[in-house]
Amino acid sequence: METDVLYVHGIRRQEGSVGLVIFERDDILLHQRPQFGDYTLGDIDTEFVTMLQDMRELRVRFGFVWRHPTFPATRGARIESARLTQLLDALLKVSAASPDFWIETIHSRGPGQPPSWPGAPELDVVLELAEWYDVDPTMTVLVRKGEFHHYSSATAAFTEILYPGLDASGSPDSDRRASLVWLKTKIKHALNLP
């Protein structure tokens, strides 16, 4: 049964029932944009959405985190971010890839910022999501685009996967598909799925 909890920092609901996969929204679901560029439908990675459909069929619990480019965010930036989240959520729903959550995070806590979430450091959000969905952290996967791990195996009880991704500037489709097959395999392995 789906239960949406809507608020300015994101959306939470119950869709999946297996593990917990947390994707960074920017540069994975959405292609990288200039700082002040507007997103268009062409910025959504449709092959990634196809992989999400497969994850949904496996009943994998997944969702997205994103960071505000500025913190503290202005009211206008928060409204714009909420609108983008609602639009992406609606698009994934009609694509049969509805995520369990969309949560705003920051990379590190700023001076005087309370240790609450959303708007909390990424590690706190990962652990809070695992607790909220009652998932063992060892069955939690964080997928980031990047070259370096943020968390050592000694720091966190969850799996961190660095998705190489491909920039939208013309990488061959076969490379993109191979990256997505690799990513899906890594996620399934981390969640002990066949």
Q: Which two tokens stand for residue 115?
A: 């240790």
> What is the pTM assigned to this prediction?
0.80
Average pLDDT, the chain: 77
Amino acid at 120: A
| Residue 157 three-state SS | coil
Distance CA 122, CA 160 (A): 12
Distance CA 40, CA 31 (A): 10
Q: What is the dotted CATH code of the domain comprising 5-190?
A: 3.40.50.1000
> In this predicted model, what pLDDT tens digit does every residue of 35-49 receive, in sequence order?
556 666 667 888 899
> In this predicted model, what pLDDT tens digit does every residue of 162-186 receive, in sequence order?
988 655 455 566 788 898 999 999 9
Nearest to 26 by CA among 134, 168, 140: 168
Q: Which two tokens stand for residue 33?
A: 């944009």
What is the Cα 89 distance to its own chain's centre? 12
| Per-domain residue ranges of the chain | 5-190
Contact criterion met (CB below 8 Å) for 151 and 160: yes
Average pLDDT over residues 94-111: 76
Average pLDDT over residues 148-157: 64
pLDDT at 146: 74
pLDDT at 144: 87
pLDDT at 38: 63
pLDDT at 78: 64
Which residues touch 117 (CB under 8 Å, ≥6 apart)?
103, 105, 124, 125, 128
